[in-house]
Each structure stands twice: as structure tokens, then as C-alpha cells.
A and B are shown apart, each in its own frame.
Chain A
Amino acid sequence: MNRFVKQFQKGLIGENPILRLMIGLCPVLAVSVRMETSLAMGGAVIFVMTCSSIVVSLIRRIVPPQVRIPIFIVIISTFVTIVDLVMKAYLPPLSRALGIFIPLIVVNCMIMGRAEAFASKQPVGLAITDALGMGVGFTFIIAAIGFVRELFGHGELFSMQIFPEQYQSMLFMILPPGAFLIIGLYIGILSLLMRRRRT
């Protein structure tokens, strides 16, 4: 049991995909403008990563090493297409807000990376735990970035007015540099905390 808890925690802090491994940054920059889109992106990533990790882990013994990459890509893109179609049918506003960034999950190196580096070598239970840990770690950070960007860029949270009407929104926060700045700050804070804990 301990092993699972440890594996889950890895994705949250020690090997957090955004702050420690710094992979899968493309959707983070593009989508973290608002809390709602951030969480939707996080949910989509968790679903795709967990499902593809399960399948990759299940078939790990029969996949020939020479064709493993195309096989992983087929599996990942299947789940991404499912998410895309379901969102289009049942959550059209979110689907429109996320636009091209849902199909682009296919080429997200975080998911590919977990399939290749972890799920293809580990039993299903651990693979699920790893995918969930990474997915939750990703979602938590993208939402934390979305929080700051929406609050200062729009003066709103979940599209509800937080700051008074007169608030002059910071355009800088809505544009990509705002995301870079906040990611940088978070990376700095996390590194500082980890160093403190070690010493």
C-alpha cells in the first residue's frame, strides 16, 4: 500500500509534471486563462492519461518494442478523440473554449512520457496510481495558475466578479507572458520549499 501512496505523491510534488519535470507546458500556457478552462483541461488530461496508462500497462507484454511508440500514439489519440466527441456533445461551451487544445493532448509529452517511462514497464495498479498522481498534480498547478491569471487578468473567478467594477484588468496576465511569469514563480517557491525541507 505504501508503494502506491508514494507513487501518487511523486506526481503531486517531487516529480510534478509542470513544476519539476516541466513537461506538457503547451496547454498550461494556452488554457490557464480562467479557472473553468483550467479545470476542464485538467479533467481531460486525467481521463486520457489514466485510461491510456491502464491499456498500455495491460498490453505491455505483447507490444513489440520496435512498434511501441505508434501503438502508444494510437491508444492515446483514441482516448483524446473520445473526450473531444463527448465534450462536443455534452459540454459545448467548454469544448469551444478549449478548442484545438483538446485534440492537442495527443501530442502532450507528459502523457506520452508516462506511457513510455512508466506504464509500459509497471503492473496496472501502479500505472493507474502514477497516472492519477501526475494528472492531479498537473490539474492542481494549472488551476493554481488559472486562479492568479483570472483574478488579476479579468478581476473574476469562475467568471464571477470578484474585484469591483472599476478594476482595471491586467492585460499582461491574460497574455502568455503572464503564464510564464507565474509558472516561474511557482517553480521558485517549490524549489525553495524542497531545499528547506532537505536541509
Chain B
Amino acid sequence: MNTMWKNAFVLAIVCTVAALSLAVVNQLTAERIEERLIAEREEALQAVFAEAEKFESIDISPELAERLEELEDFVVIDIYTAYLTEEQLGFVFQTRSAGYGGEIILMIGFSTERDQVVGLRVLEHSETPGLGASIEEPGFLEQFVGRSSADPVAVTRDIEALTGATISSRAVAAACRGVTRIIEEVSGS
């Protein structure tokens, strides 16, 4: 009985000290981590929509949310409006689609003014290094720039797949095609 209490007591002390020290470290780093994340997002937004100066996360209306849920090949995580001072230029979509090694998170800029995709960026992926991981390369992503809802935006039709990485290429194409298909509803709402 006595040893049981002693065990519990020592374990509790160790855990308390550990929790306290982690609380301190968290306090010291939390603000900075938050700042970094915001800065990174800001940078990614700017990269896919160079003309815009200001981005605002939009509230997704219930009707739009319902429509977004029906999408099959990809998921829209976030939508931002892109502004140049007061003028609205278009939208930036953060999407998720299934690649070969896991999920691919993309940032896609679409200019409603010019009715075309203006930029793409891969935020996260776990594709095979050397094959699918090349979806990050500008040479591949450039193919999507300038596409509109009138284009098929499909691998082997107007998009050239990466050698040995058809699934990864298709995942990017699916998200990009999806964005061009829902843009009207998004800008209408």
C-alpha cells in the first residue's frame, strides 16, 4: 500500500514539473508561432495572386457550403477574396485533394476579372520524392495558369502529367478544375 502511494506521488510530481515547464515554453513561443503561420499564409496568398494587395477570408454561406460538400474529387478548406485597394479582383482557394502518398494541400488564385487561374502553390504534400514531389515545380504548375471554366483542365487533355506520377498530377488537376467549375457560384454568393 505504502509503495503504491509513493509511486503515484513521485509520478504526479514529475508530471507536474513537466507540465509547468511546457506551459512556460508554450507561453514564450506561442505568439511567435502564430505570427509565423500568418506570415506564411500571407506570403502564399501573395504568391498565387500577385496583382492583389489585400486578402480577406470570406464567410461561406450555408447554400455555398452545401454546394461545396457535394464536390467529389477535392475539398475546399478556405476561400479568400483578393482586393487591390477597394476593387475586388478574384478569389484564392485553399483546397485539399488525395494524391498518391497522402493529401495535397493547394492554394489556387482565380481572377474573376480575367476569368482565369492566375497562380498555384503547393502548401503541403507527402508525394514520392523525385516523382510526385515534382508537383511543386513551377514547370508543372505553370500549365494551370490561364485556365478557365471553358477548359477541360484534365490530365492528358490539356495538362501534361509528370512522368511516373499520374496520380499526383491528377490530384492537382482535379482541384484546379474544381475551382474553375465552382467559381461562378462563389462569386455570385
A interface, CB within 8 angstroms of B? 33, 59, 62-64, 66-67, 70-71, 74-75, 77-78, 81-82, 85-86, 88-90, 92, 153, 169, 171, 174-175
Contact = CB atoms under 8 A, between A and B. Distances in A.
Nearest to A100: B126
Contacts of A66: 3, 7
Contact of A90 (B10, B15, B32): B32
Given A33-B129, A63-B10, A92-B40, 13 more contacts: A67-B10, A70-B11, A74-B14, A77-B18, A82-B25, A88-B33, A89-B33, A92-B36, A153-B129, A171-B129, A171-B130, A171-B131, A175-B130
Nearest to A62: B10
A171 B3 CA distance: 57
B168 to A, nearest CB: 14
B25 A67 contact: no
Nearest to B36: A92
Does more than half of chain A's interface fall in helix, strand or loop, or is it mixed? helix
B11 A67 contact: yes
B22 interface: yes
Contacts of B36: 88-89, 92
Contact of B3 (A62, A64, A70, A90): A64
Given A33-B129, A64-B6, A75 B29 contact: no
Given A89-B32, A92-B36, A78 B22 contact: yes
Given A64-B10, A66-B3, A90-B32, A169 B26 contact: no
B130 A169 contact: yes
Contact of A175 (B11, B15, B29, B129): B129
A82 B128 contact: no
Interface of B: 3, 6-7, 10-11, 14-15, 18, 21-22, 25-26, 29, 32-33, 36, 40, 128-131
A85 B26 contact: yes
A174 B25 CA distance: 35
A81 B25 contact: yes
A146 to B, nearest CB: 13
A171 B128 CA distance: 10
Given A88-B36, A171-B130, A175-B129, A81 B22 contact: yes
A74 B29 contact: no
B101 to A, nearest CB: 12
A86 B29 contact: yes
A71 B14 CA distance: 7
A75 B32 contact: no
A74 B18 CA distance: 7
Interface centre among A62, A88, A89, A90 (most CB of B within 10 A): A89
Contacts of B128: 175
A86 B25 contact: yes
Given A88-B29, A169-B130, A75 B18 contact: yes
B77 to A, nearest CB: 18
A62 B26 CA distance: 28
